[in-house]
Amino acid sequence: MRRTKVAELLGATVCGAEVRAAGWVRTRRDSKGGFSFLEVNDGSCLANLQVIAPDTLPNYGDEVLHLHPGASVVVEGELAQSVGSGQAVELKARAVRVLGGSPPVEYPLGKQKVNFDRLRELPHLRPRTNSFGALARVRHVLAQEIHRFFDARGFLYVHTPVITANDCEGAGEMFRVTTLDPHSPPRLPDGTVDFGQDFFGRRASLTVSGQLEGEAYACALGDIYTFGPTFRAENSNTRRHLSEFWMVEPEMAFADLDDDAALAEAFLRHLFGAVLARCGEDLGFFDRRVQPGVVARLERLAAAPFGRLTYTEAVRLLETSGRAFEYAPSWGMDLQSEHERYLAGEVFQGPVVVTDYPEAIKAFYMRRNDDGRTVAAMDVLLPEVGEIIGGSQREERLEVLLEAMRRAGLAPEAYPHYLDLRRFGSVPHAGFGLGFERLVQFCTGMNNIRDVIPYPRAPRLC
């Protein structure tokens, strides 16, 4: 007999069928009425399957009565309407086969609640909890919907490299990739390490962004996106940062900042709507146990247009808010976390797109505006989570780009490919980067980003 997943069994409308289920025991309750209740979960959905194990089973005394949380079982029997309240159907077992026992005391996940801090020390076992099962399913759906959204709009999925020789992009500290012996690397006459003898014949690192490669493909194929792991070696110790995270980076040719912002909004609203439609049971769990109100918030944001204002307007709004900020807002300074929280959390109470930042506080590749002091950049700010998207229209004018690189102190020779895109058939183009884990955080209400990725990588955590 083939096994049927619990999600399918619980959705069954006809009872009486002979079925096989398999999963991990969450709890066991014994009745003196001649049977035990087993709560079995197989990860296919949040809910457990209630199994009725009668004492007439040949292994009842020896095995069933000694089943503890974490044990794995295969159960065969009749799917029946439940006598008790609390579940529609239950499985009346004719056979319970114990695949793997789970010694109590030694198994860290008992019946009692275990908090997220503790669970973080058990990355191999935490997917067996309600929270992390739900997280894995929501994360999966969001990833699938990202591909669906772009595919439906004719964007090509491009695989940009994880290992790159693009250095000093200014996006952050990079992890070095090397096969040199750290104790005695080859050295140049001046004593510095000779990376010419390294595996790639030059310095190489893990990517901090697929944007540069993405631009090249957009400037040939039109609309593309990347979705892959990204690495930052910054010593960031916050609930919003990881050393290894997943980033979505669409790039559009023949597009300006307005197109970029419109794409970002359509993208996020599609994802909010999709996760609501497909993850109702799991979102309900987050709403009850993690962050009350998270579902209502998603429903509101899936329906309403985003706020939209320029950096200059944002600063004026902050200055005249009458609010006492720890850091007084002023034109030319980057927006502080408290400013972003005020804009997204209080003024707009939802996502806000802030555009046209001062040139001095943004990256060299962002397109210079006609006012001569701002660039066509945008950030999408969410309540609670803060910046979830950073993007821009790219500078497509060769001379203007070279000038920006000089001002940023970057050597144009280090970016021959990037400059070639402006030299040969240059076109206006724009794109953005979305932090996937921050999206999952926002959709689930999870407080710490380390809890929305299966195996978090952060300083002192690997």
Partner RNA sequence: UCCGGCGUAGCGCAGUGGUAGCGCAGUUGGCUGUUAACCAAUUGGUCGCAGGUUCGAAUCCUGCCGCCGGAGCCA
Site for RNA in 115-174 (CB under 7 A): 115, 117-118, 120, 171-172
Distance of alpha carbon 313 from alpha carbon 259, whole angstroms: 20
Q: Of 146-154, 219-227, 230-238, 288-296, which segment contacts RNA by CB under 7 A?
A: 230-238
Shortest distance (Å) from residue 255 CB to RNA: 18
Residue 294 near residue 300, CB atoms below 8 Å: no
Comparing CB distances to RNA, the nearer of 198 and 430 is: 430
According to the binding rule CB under 7 A, does residue 72 interact with RNA? Answer: no
Shortest distance (Å) from residue 84 CB to RNA: 2
Binding pattern for the stretch 196-215 against RNA, x by CB under 7 A and - elsewhere: -------------x------
According to the binding rule CB under 7 A, does residue 428 interact with RNA? Answer: no
> Of 12-71, which residues contact RNA (CB under 7 A)?
27, 29-33, 35, 37, 50, 52, 66, 68
According to the binding rule CB under 7 A, does residue 240 interact with RNA? Answer: yes
Number of residues engaging RNA in binding (CB under 7 A): 71
Distance of alpha carbon 159 from alpha carbon 197, whole angstroms: 28
Q: Of 127-135, 189-197, 412-420, 448-456, which segment contacts RNA by CB under 7 A?
A: 448-456
> Of 246-305, which residues contact RNA (CB under 7 A)?
247
- Measured in whole angstroms, the distance separating CA 104 from the mean position of its chain's CA atoms is 34
Binding pattern for the stretch 329-348 against RNA, x by CB under 7 A and - elsewhere: -----x-xxx--x-------
Comparing CB distances to RNA, the nearer of 195 and 439 is: 439
According to the binding rule CB under 7 A, does residue 449 interact with RNA? Answer: yes
Comparing CB distances to RNA, the nearer of 12 and 398 is: 12
When binding is defined by CB under 7 A, the residue of 104, 161, 332, 425 that contacts RNA is 104
Q: Which residues of 29-63 are buried (b: 16+ CB within 10 A; e: fewer)?
A: eeeeeebbebbbbbbbbbbbbbbbbbeebeebeeb
According to the binding rule CB under 7 A, does residue 234 interact with RNA? Answer: yes
Comparing CB distances to RNA, the nearer of 195 and 375 is: 375
Q: Is 217 exposed, middle or buried (0-12, 13-18, 19+ CB in 10 A)?
A: buried
Shortest distance (Å) from residue 64 CB to RNA: 13
* Spatial CA neighbour of 166 closest among 364, 414, 362: 414
Comparing CB distances to RNA, the nearer of 198 and 375 is: 375
Residue 135 near residue 444, CB atoms below 8 Å: yes
According to the binding rule CB under 7 A, does residue 351 interact with RNA? Answer: no
Comparing CB distances to RNA, the nearer of 321 and 336 is: 336
According to the binding rule CB under 7 A, does residue 83 interact with RNA? Answer: yes
Distance of alpha carbon 363 from alpha carbon 381, whole angstroms: 18
The owner of tokens 């619990």 is: 6
Comparing CB distances to RNA, the nearer of 82 and 310 is: 82
325 contact partners, CB below 8 Å, separation of at least 6: 318, 336, 338, 339, 342
User: Residue 319: what are its φ and ψ, rounded to 5°?
Assistant: -65, -35
Shortest distance (Å) from residue 194 CB to RNA: 28
Shortest distance (Å) from residue 325 CB to RNA: 10
* Spatial CA neighbour of 374 closest among 415, 331, 405: 331
According to the binding rule CB under 7 A, does residue 318 interact with RNA? Answer: no
Residue 158 near residue 226, CB atoms below 8 Å: yes
Q: Of 111-119, 174-182, 288-296, 304-312, which segment contacts RNA by CB under 7 A?
A: 111-119
According to the binding rule CB under 7 A, does residue 237 interact with RNA? Answer: yes
Shortest distance (Å) from residue 375 CB to RNA: 13
When binding is defined by CB under 7 A, the residue of 15, 390, 419, 420 that contacts RNA is 390
Shortest distance (Å) from residue 433 CB to RNA: 4
Q: Of 5-13, 229-237, 312-320, 348-356, which segment contacts RNA by CB under 7 A?
A: 229-237
